[in-house]
Every structure is written in structure tokens, then in C-alpha cells.
Amino acid sequence: MIKMFSLKQNCWFIRKVVIWRAVASIAWSVLLLPVTSAVFVLLSRFSLFHPIQWISECTSLLTASSTIFSLVVLCGVVLITGLFNLEFYTLVPSIPCSRMALLGTVLHPRQCVHSLVYCTMGMLVMWCASVTIGGRYSTLGIPCKQSESGEVVTCLNEYHLFLLLAGAFMGYSHSFLGVVKNMYYVSFQPIQQYKYPRFKGCLPMVVKCSVIQSLYSARNFAALYFFFGYVPKTWISSTLHLQIDSSLQPLDSLTGLLDFSLLYHLSISGTFLYFTWYLTVLLFRIYVTEAYSFPVQSTFTEDAEQCLPKVLAETNTLVMKFLALQDLALLSQHSLSRRLEVFSLSQPGGHPHNWNAISRECMSLLSELTQRLLAHQDAVASNGRVKSQSASIDTRSASSSSSVVSGTEDVSETPRLSVPLRTPGSVFTSSVGGMHSALTAPFTPDVDSPFSSPAIRRLVGQQEPRSPWFGTVQSPHIMRRGPKLWSASTESQSNGSPPASPATVPSPPAANQKPSFLAQWLQNRREQVKSFLAKRVLIVYLFNKLPEASSQALFADSQAHIWALQGLSHLVAASFSEDQFGVVQTTLPSILSCLVVLLEAVDRHFKLPHASSKPVRTVCSMGDSTYKTLRFALRAALKTAIYKITTTFGEHLNAVNISTEHRKRLQQFLEFKE
């Protein structure tokens, strides 16, 4: 638990900004708690026919000591929720590429602790709610008369138990949906707003979401209690030695559940519960995504690390990098004086350090995306599945894939290689070979990229990149192509055999070595198990790649690229009239070719199957689904960025030194034919 809350305090930005923003958001959530509690009290005691009595009861209740105590408990709950938000929030969503990966995330120990804490908090809130509602809900034990002897004993109050269990259920479903719907993903709005108007604008949405979520949960919980309600009831009554009042209608029956007042109180309390949590999440999102203005340059050297050029180069603190890129995009559009600082020369020496650092950082970000896209295109075969690794030899790939599809066992007839064959069904292999790694590692390609936050890495618990994804991108093409994106880890490692370097994978010496009989037998077994599993519906269901998930995952952090594109293009366009020393001119060719290369990669990516299909729009949910459309936003931002530069420079672009193909592409933009 202590390790969980070990905040990333190494960075000045976390210490000085993010922590205080989180504290402010939690403080506001606590301050808003009395208001929401008062509304809850009013609604829970509502009676249409006695309005005077209703109001007076509520005012006396609001000042009662039990309510004050409930408020203190609720404050604790809000505090813990806020801490969880701070610990779990992520700017890059984790996108599981198969249902198995999703399952792995849900069952991860860290997530289990999260669920447990939320269950407890849900019970606490529901306890407060039941005390506040009062009447038949207030305590767990009630005095009742036994039917035979007539003596008064303590009986179990099933209504109270029902609400407590509902709280635990809602807590768990909140935690579960938090993973499935990426509740902790924080997205940035396309426009800037002050915090209060933004809060006011989002409040109706939060109310609507909590009401809908509470109704769904109430329905699901009622169904669950109807079937399995007797289990906790008998357990509680036996451990606490409480009698069960047989004169009352049991709640796990149809007539017991069809109690309008009970269902009303359940959904009202559920709404209160969800609203408290959602409000905390909303305030946290608003505070964290607030724009932060970094100085472009500082007169004091000790502040140099807080300046924009230094901050942009930072890779460990993701939130700082995102806010710095956002600030860059904003200053490039709105602030003339800060743009002039970017274009300025250093005082002794006269070097354009600011512009060089900023443009270099943006371009490296963009070319990193280009490399990622190219690697993905290499890895994905034309049929949309992950190409087999050993199938750098294409014919073998075809034969082996057909063998799996047809289900025949002729795999064993193919020549042995020292590294086992990887077929399109290789996903199954890895799951059999190393079930634990497949369980915990989602096939998210960028989990191990330098851009993902340590929080996600911890969340998915990926100690070493062993998911099939990592194996498959290790085709020799990519190794030749240039910078290595993912650390090498081949399938053979998980089998205990020495790691084979990817370059030697298709090499013939492997065939010269006579494999031992045992190894061959094992190999045969493996193939049999694999093809056996491949035919099972459930396994296929769990391990099949979700369509467009890999595409979403590739662009999961593209908000950063969008800002880099906006910032770069607006700065270049502004330099046309504002750049006195011509510092931008020297980098203009490389910026243009970087953009065009990225455009080509993006264009090719959208030709892949599922890449251009639109995701289904979610109706109402607190989980943010903007990451699903980030690839479209990136494509639009990229084209707009190129148009911004070409329309500003016009015919002057012909004087820029770039290659002929790029010039041809830019000519298309000059003629508005894109």
C-alpha cells in the first residue's frame, strides 16, 4: 500500500504543480460534500403530501450529530477517492488488444486492491446513506418478537444489509468500469475555459451519468440479490448471531424486491454514491488539464530547467510534457511576445537555442510516431492479422497459416527450425507457454515505449515485454530500419532456450543441427495443443484481437503529436512575418520533410483494415472515449498544419531545399488538392 502511494516526487513539476492541483480539487470536492448531502437528505425524505413536515424534518436532520458524523466519514471517502485519482490517472489510455488482455488488467493485483478499497468505500457511503434515510434502514439489528416463545431478540435488518451490499456492488462495478471504460484517462478539451465555467458546463453531464449508472447498478444488483441474496444473509446472521425475522417478507423474493420505496431509496443512494465519486473525478480532471504557462527563457540559470525548451525534452514526467506541448500550441497561436522570445537569439553568442530545442523536440516526437507507424505496417499483413515472425520467408508463412486455418496437422512436416514456428495462431502459443505473462500484459504496443507513464506500466504490471506483440515486431526489416522501438525479447526466451538474435532467425544453420528427439516430440505436442486450442470457441473469443484496438493503441498518445503539429505549424507560419533573424529558415526543409513523411505513413495506416472505421459513440459515461478518435484528429491536424505552412509561404516554398517527391506532395497542398 505504501508503495502504491509512493508518488513520483522526483520532478519539480509534480512537487510544485500537480500535487497542489490535486489538493485543490480534493478540497473543492470536500467543500461541495455538504451541498450534495443536503440535496440527498431532501430527496430521500421526500413526501408529496406533507411538505411542511418534510422540510422541518430535513432541517432538523441536517443539524443532527449523526449527520455530522456521516459527513466526516464521507470526507474520508472523498479523500481516498482523490488520492486514488492522483495515483491512477493517466494521460495515455491503456488499450487492451484482446479480451484476454482486458481480463488480465481486471485481475491484476493492483486492480484487485483498487476494487477492494472501492467496495469498502461503497459500503461506507451506503451506511451513511442508510443512517441518513433512517426509518427501517438505520441499523443492522432490530428487536423483534420470536413467534414461538414471544420473547424479544435481536433480528437481522435485511433492508440495512441490502443497502450495504448494494454499496459494495456499486463500488466494485465502479472500479471494474473504471478499467473497462478508462475512467482514469484524462483527456484535454479542444478549447480553453476557466475552471468555474467548465465545471458548470460539465455538471449536468455528471448528474445525468450518475443517475443512469445508478439505475443500471440498481437493476443489476436487484437481480443478483434475487438469486444469491441468501448467501450473505445467512452468513451474516450466523456470524453475528442474529435471528431472521420470519414475519417479514424476505428481500430475495419477487414480492420483497418489488417494493417501490426500497427501489427508490436504492437508486437515490446509488446516485448520491456515484455523484460523489464522479464529482471528485471531474474536479481532478479540470484541475490537472488546466493550462500551465512555462517561461520560454529565464534570466536566471537555476530556473533553466523550468523553461519550455528543457521541459519539452523531458520524457519521464508525462503530465509535464503534455502541458508543455499544450502551452507551446497556445503560445504559437495567441501570444506574440512569447513567440518573439522563441525566435530570439541567445545573448552572448547569438544562437537560436530556444527555437532549435523546441523544433528539435517536436520533430523527434513526430518522427518517433512515423517510425511507430512504419513498424506497425510492416508487422501487419495485408489481411489485418499479425504476420508470423519466422515468416520473414513469406512462403512459409503462407503454408503455415493455411495449415492452421484448415486445421490439418501437416505443421510437423515442415522443416524444423531452432526457433519454433510462429503462425498467425502464435497468440495461443505464448499464452500456453507463459500464461502468466499473457495474463498480465495487454498487447498494447506502446506500453513499453518511452512515452508511457510509469503509472501504466505499474498498472499492467509489465516487468518484461513478453507479449506476442513484442515478438512479432522483431522482423528483420525493422531491425534494419533504424532505431529499435521495443527491447528485444523473443519467444524462445520464455521457453528457456538461449535468446536468438532476430537476424539469425531465418538462417539455414539452424536446419543443419539435428534437433533431438525430445525437442521434436515437444514441438509436435505443442503444435497439437495449439491447433486444438485454436478450434475452441471460448479461447478464440478470448484471444482474438479486437478490431481497431491496435490502431487505437498506436495513436493513444497522439494528443501530444497534435499539439506538436499545431505549435510547429503556427510558429513556422508566424515566422514569415515575425522572425527577424531568420532562425526558422534553417530548419524549414527538415520540418517540411518530417511532416510529409509522417503524412505518407498516416495515409498508409488508414489503408489498413479497421483503421478508418469509426468507433461507436458512447451515449453517457464518465469514461472518456476521445482516445478512440485520436487518429482521425491527428490526421486532420497534420493536414491543417501542412496547409498552414503552404498557404503562408506560397510560392516561396519553391526556394526551399527539399526532395522532389516531397515537393510534388507539397505542390498538391499548394493547389488545394488534398
Q: Which positions touch other proteins (CB under 8 A)?
A: 189-194, 197, 201, 333-334, 566, 570, 614, 617, 626, 629-630, 632-633, 635-637, 639-640, 643-644, 647, 669, 671-674
Say how many Å lie between the first and final Cα of the chain, rounded. Answer: 54
Q: How far is the CB of 335 from other proteins (least distance, A)?
A: 9
Q: How far is the CB of 383 from other proteins (least distance, A)?
A: 23
- Alpha-carbon distances, residue 450 vs 192, 305, 315 (angstroms): 28, 20, 7
Ramachandran quadrant class, 656 (left: phi over 0; alpha: psi -120 to 50; beta: rest)? beta
For other proteins, give the closer residue by CB, 514 or 673.
673
Closest CA to 80 of 114, 110, 49: 114
For other proteins, give the closer residue by CB, 604 or 639.
639
Q: How far is the CB of 640 from other proteins (least distance, A)?
A: 5
For other proteins, give the closer residue by CB, 334 or 525.
334
For other proteins, give the closer residue by CB, 86 or 637.
637
C-alpha to C-alpha distance for 426 and 530, rounded to whole angstroms: 8
Q: Which residues contact 216 (CB under 8 A, 6 or more apart)?
A: none
Q: How far is the CB of 299 from other proteins (least distance, A)?
A: 26
DSSP three-state, residue 416: coil
Q: What is the helix (H) or strand (E) element at residue 143, kind and residue range?
A: strand 141-145
For other proteins, give the closer residue by CB, 193 or 497.
193
C-alpha to C-alpha distance for 224 and 532, rounded to whole angstroms: 36
For other proteins, give the closer residue by CB, 469 or 563.
563
C-alpha to C-alpha distance for 176 and 170, rounded to whole angstroms: 10
Q: How far is the CB of 636 from other proteins (least distance, A)?
A: 4
Q: How far is the CB of 606 from other proteins (least distance, A)?
A: 12
For other proteins, give the closer residue by CB, 208 or 536.
208
For other proteins, give the closer residue by CB, 55 or 620.
620
Q: How far is the CB of 328 from other proteins (least distance, A)?
A: 15
Q: How far is the CB of 334 from other proteins (least distance, A)?
A: 5
What does the DSSP assignment read for 21-40? HHHHHHHHHHHHHHHHHHHH
Q: How far is the CB of 548 from other proteins (least distance, A)?
A: 15
C-alpha to C-alpha distance for 138 and 152, rounded to whole angstroms: 19
Ramachandran quadrant class, 47 (left: phi over 0; alpha: psi -120 to 50; beta: rest)? beta
Q: How far is the CB of 20 from other proteins (least distance, A)?
A: 21
**For the chain, the helix, strand and coil percentages under 3-state DSSP, each to the nearest 5:** 65, 5, 30
Q: List the Cα angle 321/104/554 in 5-degree steps.
A: 40
For other proteins, give the closer residue by CB, 378 or 674.
674
Residue 63, judged by CB atoms within 10 A of its CB (0-12, 13-18, 19+), counts as: exposed
C-alpha to C-alpha distance for 563 and 360, rounded to whole angstroms: 14
Ramachandran quadrant class, 490 (left: phi over 0; alpha: psi -120 to 50; beta: rest)? beta
For other proteins, give the closer residue by CB, 3 or 614.
614
Residue 119, judged by CB atoms within 10 A of its CB (0-12, 13-18, 19+), counts as: buried
Interhelix angle 158-180/195-228, nearest 10 degrees: 120
C-alpha to C-alpha distance for 99 and 104, rounded to whole angstroms: 9
For other proteins, give the closer residue by CB, 191 or 538.
191
Q: How far is the CB of 663 from other proteins (least distance, A)?
A: 18
Interhelix angle 336-343/353-379, nearest 10 degrees: 90
Q: How far is the CB of 635 from other proteins (least distance, A)?
A: 7
Q: List the Cα angle 442/443/448 in 5-degree steps.
A: 85
For other proteins, give the closer residue by CB, 35 or 619.
619
